[in-house]
Structure 1
């Protein structure tokens, strides 16, 4: 498939969706805590987006039934919201795709519930650092492999696992557009980055060093194969001549 370059006006429209998403995550950070259920979080997110005249793009995507993906502890991605109450020491990732007037923005964030273990805290810090390192490589003239290599190097230096089947991607009017943006690879390889590209970078790491995962019978929920913790941070960003512009931050 052909990479779809965006105009400045189109990037501004994605930015509008991204601002709503960033504000949603900011409010979630204040609200999430012990005793809440992930289903309550999901319902709040859907209501919040409606109040901003936006919709959750995940809901109905290939039959996915919820407004968010809510992944707790050893669930690394695509967790179904449910009635389990969050407990002190849990970590949870909320992944949301916002549709505002037909333009999409995608961001996932991992949250600490109360006081978390040293293992969990390290994983969250390392995964977020990998996101920042990947974004720094998102400049015209670099290649996708430069992003992938930067993310991979953080994982290797920290001794955590990379969930290799799950990757970043282009985004615009569709949730998944070219190019794929893996969390592993070699620098100076892959698609060249050009001004006008909009993509997501989303390191997904495990506290276990293999990064191996298993899909559950629902066809969506992905857990670590060894029962270790998973973390996931994601931003949508634009490639510009001035450098990377994150569209899902305030």
Structure 2
């Protein structure tokens, strides 16, 4: 069931989104050669604590997961696409890092992700990240009243495929509200003019995931959470929670 939010609820979700933006900023500021992924998670926990917010990630256990998620961030390095678990791995020069964060404040959730390089960036990695961000922008631009879910997926897929990148099958965005994952699902590829109509008050997370090798196949790592490219190519992930408004899409997790 899809719940349309009131303007007051969307304003409350924007406050949760500000916390998410702060978590991502803290992680990015902390990320440096030699810093562990666990330290990034600790920096994000401090942001949550100061805001009086909770984490929809911590303790989350979907049907595929062998254990509850143990952190407030997902930190996915190089060939990891999503769901990376922050541990003792220490960042190296040239690593491509995707960070996904969520926050729950006063009963409402925000969810967003960024990708960036640590130390000296490889040109091919920067192009991948830039394309993921362009795909996200295209998806957001398509999230207008009168369009359909398929228009969002088509916009994302056109940017990704046009640049020669893979789009992992079965993963994409989702509704956001009182819970982190609500209806509807928002695929990263789709047919324009198809799917659920976009109406004012719909709040969704739009999140392109791109793989550099052009293939769509992936597999779980030994931890049962991290999803990695089968061909070992690098991946990038970009995400915002947005509200469909009469005036156009409103980004709720912007800094």
- Under a length normalisation based on structure 2, what TM-score does the superposition of the two structures give? 0.95
2:38 counterpart of 1:33? no
Q: CA deviation at 1:23?
A: 2.3
CA distance in 2, matches of 1:25, 1:223: 22
What is the aligned partner in structure 2 of residue 169 from structure 1?
Answer: 174
What is the aligned partner in structure 1 of residue 135 from structure 2?
Answer: 130
CA distance in 2, matches of 1:243, 1:97: 24
List aligned pairs for 1:1-250, cutoff 5 A: 2-62=1-61, 63-250=68-255
Q: CA deviation at 1:48?
A: 1.7
Q: Is the 8 A contact 2:128 2:212 kept in 1?
A: yes
Q: Deviations over 1:214-237 (max 9, x none)?
A: 112432110000000010000000
Structure 2: segments with no counterpart, 5+ residues: 62-67
When structure 1 is superposed on structure 2, of 16-25 and 72-81 the one drifting more is: 16-25
Q: CA deviation at 1:35?
A: 1.2
| 3-state DSSP of counterpart to 1:41 | helix
Q: CA deviation at 1:20?
A: 1.3
| 3-state DSSP of counterpart to 2:119 | coil
CA distance in 1, matches of 2:53, 2:94: 32
Q: CA deviation at 1:27?
A: 3.2
CA distance in 1, matches of 2:220, 2:20: 27
RMSD: 1.0
CA distance in 1, matches of 2:19, 2:84: 22
Q: How many residues align?
A: 249
Q: CA deviation at 1:162?
A: 0.4
Alignment CA distance shift 1:64-1:27 (3 Å): closer
CA distance in 1, matches of 2:246, 2:47: 34
Q: CA deviation at 1:51?
A: 1.1
CA distance in 2, matches of 1:235, 1:85: 27
CA distance in 2, matches of 1:156, 1:233: 16
CA distance in 2, matches of 1:212, 1:96: 24
